[in-house]
């Protein structure tokens, strides 16, 4: 199982939020470029990057910074946040981003997902973020009536190969992942690669997620507060299949 440390970018800085609340922002590194260099030096294979400004505005606000992060390190990067047009996807692909995550738009504009998958194949992933099992959109500010499993099945039918699933109630809380949701996803869409996001608080959580045969897990706050080290991440990655 891959373990992906997260860099969430807000106003040019690496930050952490709690349950997607922009008022509960903590700056974890003034320089996201320095942060990704640290990950590269440790031997991390892929980093999960979120443009939080973009998620709010529907624009790739921090694209230039993310381009620099890719160019300066050549670490594999998956990017989400504000990606709502094929032109934005083209721009990220052109700078070498390894996986491009479509979030809210997967629900509101599935045609875009079809076009993107047709053009870029496995490079396209879909981020499904849920509150009380219902898909949230627009930077988690609005909640739809669509069940997370329903959207996952629809994306599988389109040909999407990778889902990043977040239970918003767990994000940034260090209270452990919602394992039952991942079990349900693995059952509903067994052909998809599922990446867990939200609630990871310990190395044990990572090993427990690996037991569910997930493709990957994202670590955010637990790294920045010292609960999970880069060595822990690599240990899980190297010993959990």
Kindly list the catalytic residues: 8, 129
Residue 79's SS3 state is: strand
d(CA 235, CA 100): 26
Q: φ and ψ at 139, to 5 degrees?
A: 65, 30
Tell me the Ramachandran region of residue 222: left when phi exceeds 0, alpha when psi lies from -120 to 50, beta otherwise.
alpha
Counting every residue written for the chain, the total comes to: 241
Q: What CA–CA distances, in Å, run from 210 to 33, 110, 146, 183, 237?
A: 29, 30, 27, 11, 9
Contact predicate 220/172, CB 8 Å: yes
CB within 8 A of 209, min separation 6: which ones? Answer: 1, 177, 179, 182, 196, 200, 217
Name every residue whose Cβ is closer than 8 Å to that of residue 80 and which is 6 or more positions away in sequence. 48, 49, 50, 51, 55, 100, 101, 102, 103, 125, 127, 164
């Amino acid at each position: 199982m891959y373990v992906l440390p997260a860099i969430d970018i807000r106003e040019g800085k690496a930050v952490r939020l709690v349950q997607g609340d922009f008022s509960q922002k903590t700056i974890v590194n003034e320089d996201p470029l320095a942060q990704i260099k640290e990950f590269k030096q440790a031997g991390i294979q892929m980093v999960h990057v979120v443009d939080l400004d973009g998620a709010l505005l529907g624009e790739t606000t921090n694209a230039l910074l993310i381009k620099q992060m890719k160019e300066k390190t050549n670490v594999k990067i998956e990017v989400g946040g504000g990606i709502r047009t094929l032109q934005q996807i083209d721009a990220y692909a052109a700078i070498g981003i390894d996986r491009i995550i479509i979030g809210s738009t997967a629900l509101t504009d599935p045609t875009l997902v079809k076009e993107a998958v047709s053009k870029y194949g496995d490079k396209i992933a879909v981020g499904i973020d849920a509150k009380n099992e219902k898909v949230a959109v627009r930077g988690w500010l609005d909640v739809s009536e669509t069940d997370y499993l329903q959207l996952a099945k629809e994306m599988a039918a389109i040909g999407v190969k990778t889902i990043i699933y977040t239970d918003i109630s767990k994000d940034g809380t260090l209270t452990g992942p919602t394992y039952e949701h991942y079990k349900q996803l693995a059952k509903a869409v067994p052909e998809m690669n599922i990446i867990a996001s939200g609630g990871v608080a310990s190395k044990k959580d990572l090993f427990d997620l690996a037991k569910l045969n997930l493709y990957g897990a994202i670590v955010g706050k637990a790294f920045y507060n010292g609960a999970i080290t880069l060595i822990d991440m690599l240990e899980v990655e190297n010993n959990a299949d």
